[in-house]
Amino acid sequence: MQLVDILSKKSVKLNITVASKIDLFDELLLLASLSGNIRDYELVKGSVIHRENIMTTGLGKGIALPHSKSQGVTKATAALVTLAKPIDYGSFDNIPVSIVVMILSPNENPAIHLSLISKVARFFQDDFNRFKVQKSKSIDELFHLLDFSKRKNK
């Protein structure tokens, strides 16, 4: 399973502006809820914040990957935003984030959750991928990049 398999075009926004990490989480959770795979928004929000309080999900290089497993999620789903103005996220390298992918999964299958996180993190370690995602002018352009990556990594 790849990011493009759990990401809906309606769960993506490009060049948004948010004031804080909590505002960012609210935006991502709202987008993820459009998938229909979130049955308890507040439970999922609490699990995302709890996970973030354990250790930052800021990967470095301007990328954040907030994630959580929760009973409030019916099946794996994701949301993605690019930020018009990077925000402080508390990442390990202290670089503000400009690309954020949220991955939410039910508790039942932690292996799929970990696999998705690993694949997304690996995708964004590539400078070219980060640049292309940040410069995407449309959601279709972004999905083309993600779909190409899926075919390349099979």
The 10s digit of each residue's pLDDT in 107-119 is 987 888 899 999 9
Asked if the model's pLDDT at residue 30 lies above 50, the reply is: yes
Question: What element of type H or E holds 84?
Answer: strand 77-87
As a dihedral over the C-alpha atoms of residue 152, residue 9, residue 101, residue 117, rounded to 10 degrees, the angle is -50
Percentage of residues in the chain with pLDDT exceeding 70?
95
Kindly give the pairing relationship between strand 97-105 and strand 77-87: antiparallel
Domain 3-152: what homologous superfamily? Mannitol-specific EII; Chain A (3.40.930.10)
Residue ranges per domain, the chain? 3-152
Q: Is the pTM of this model over 0.85?
A: yes
pLDDT band at 149 (very low <50, low <70, confident <90, very high): low
Lowest mean pLDDT of 47-51, 73-77, 150-154, name the range. Answer: 150-154
